[in-house]
Structure 1
Amino acid sequence: MSGVQRVSTGAPWEARVGYCRAVRSGPHVWVAGTVAVGGDGQVHGPGDIEAQARRCIAIIAGALEQVGADLSHVVRTRAFATDMSADAQAAFARAHSAAFGAHPPVATLVGVAALAAPEYLIEIEADAFVSGS
Structure 2
Amino acid sequence: MKRTLISSGGPYEEKIGYSRAVVCDGWVFVSGSTGADPDSGAMPEGVVEQCRNTLETIRRALEKAGASLDDVVRVNYVLPVAEDFEPCWPVLAEAFARARPAAMMIQAGLISPAMKIEIEVTARLP
User: TM-score band, normalised by the shorter chain?
Assistant: over 0.9
Q: Which residue of 1 is the match for residue 102 of structure 2?
A: 106
Q: In structure 2, how many angstroms separate the alpha carbons of the residues matched to 1:49 and 1:94?
A: 12
Deviation at 1:102, TM superposition (A): 2.2
Deviation at 1:89, TM superposition (A): 2.4
* Length-normalised TM-score, structure 2: 0.93
Decide which of 32, 53, 58 is 1:60's aligned counterpart.
58
Deviation at 1:14, TM superposition (A): 1.0
Look at both structures and tell me which one has the larger radius of gyration over its CA atoms: 1
Task: Name the SS of the counterpart of 2:8 in structure 1.
Answer: coil
Instruction: Could you tell me which runs of 5 or more consecutive residues in structure 2 were left unpaired when the two chains were aligned.
Output: none
Q: Which residue of 2 is the match for residue 96 of structure 1?
A: 92
Contact 1:75 1:104 in 2 (8 A): yes
Q: Which residue of 2 is the match for residue 119 of structure 1?
A: 114
Deviation at 1:53, TM superposition (A): 1.1
Amino acid at match of 1:109: M
CA displacement 1:37-70 (0-9 Å, x = unmatched): 1122221x21x21111111111000000001000
Instruction: Could you tell me which runs of 5 or more consecutive residues in structure 1 were left unpaired when the two chains were aligned.
Output: none
Stretches of 4+ aligned residues off by more than 2 angstroms: none
Correspondence 1:33-52 to 2 at 5 A: 33-38=32-37, 39-43=39-43, 45-46=44-45, 48-52=46-50
- Aligned residue pairs, count: 125
* Length-normalised TM-score, structure 1: 0.88
